[in-house]
Structure 1
Amino acid sequence: MIMSQPPVPTDYAAGQLWRCNGREPGEQPTLLINLVETHPLGGRIFHITLDGLRVRHPGLPGGVMTRLAHAPVIEQTFERSGMVYIGPQAPAADYRKGYDEWRQAFDAGHAASFGVSVPTILEILERRLNGIPLDQP
């Protein structure tokens, strides 16, 4: 039986699941777009869930984070992350808590969104979780 690939969307929207670049060959994360917002100053902000991760996290059993329920990104993240469309999927149920925390901080002027690649987001996250300065090699 031949499985046909879903047509690749012409625009990014909520309910799309993508495979993207990881930091190493064994890390092949998926990126799910949960919500798209338009901000008057910042254009579109995409609220995503990343799964299939291998991020060192000393506070978790086993020391590895495999899922990031919420991250706010802009379209440049997609352009820099080697995105391959997988198909439609319902938004993740667990992204709202992180979204609500981000939204409160964003509205207060204390948060922004990422425009870097997914591998760079994962590197920033891992360094923060492990107390490694971002400017240290």
Structure 2
Amino acid sequence: MEKMEKDDYKITFKKGQAWKYHARGNEPESRVIVLKVEQYENAGEVIHISVVGLSMKNKHDSSWLGKDISHMPFSKEALMKSVITFDKMVEVPDFSEGYVIWKDAFDKGKAGVYSVSVSEVVDFMEQTINDGYESHEE
């Protein structure tokens, strides 16, 4: 397979692709794995990914280390800005539990897709684990 670069706009994300991405500084071996690609009238192309090779810490439990995120839905545009180069094809891990929860909420208009970088979402998740999340809704 020829090397695919993120600037090659002919790229089509496909199930099983592992990509190097703009990972956080302490996670240089982290990869994005494409789980599923779907097209929605109201959201466009949605790329479902898993992120592996993380080092998320939990200040409430020093023995816990979050290494993987099993399911995250991204817009194609956001994922294109996050990935650097294609790494290899891999077996797709089971992501059905997270996908079913997301799909049910998405169909009800209560969930969407990420439109920021993968590393920003990982940072937010780690921050939420450590500091909690305060809703600003009234």
Q: Which of the five TM-score ranges fits, normalised by the shorter chain? A: 0.7 to 0.9
Opposite residue 41 of structure 1, the aligned amino acid is N
Opposite residue 101 of structure 1, the aligned amino acid is I
CA displacement 1:88-124 (0-9 Å, x = unmatched):
122212x111111111111111111111111101111
Q: How far apart are the structure 1 equivalents of 2:21 and 2:84?
A: 5
Unaligned residue ranges in structure 2 (runs of 5+): 5-10
Contact 2:50-2:71 within 8 A present in 1 as well:
yes
Contact 1:55-1:126 within 8 A present in 2 as well:
yes
TM value normalised by structure 2: 0.81
Q: CA deviation at 1:27?
A: 0.6
**1:105 corresponding residue in structure 2:** 105
**1:45 corresponding residue in structure 2:** 46
Which runs of structure 1 show a deviation greater than 4 angstroms over 4 or more consecutive aligned residues?
58-61
In the alignment of these two chains, the number of paired residues is 127
Contact 2:56-2:67 within 8 A present in 1 as well:
yes
Unaligned residue ranges in structure 1 (runs of 5+): 1-5
Change (3 A) 1:127 1:79: same
RMSD over aligned Cα, in angstroms? 2.0
Q: Does 1:131 align with 2:126?
A: no
TM value normalised by structure 1: 0.82
CA displacement 1:44-76 (0-9 Å, x = unmatched):
111111000111235767232010011111112
Q: 1:24-103 residue pairs with structure 2 within 5 A?
A: 24=25, 26-28=26-28, 29-57=30-58, 62-93=63-94, 95-103=95-103
Change (3 A) 1:51 1:45: same
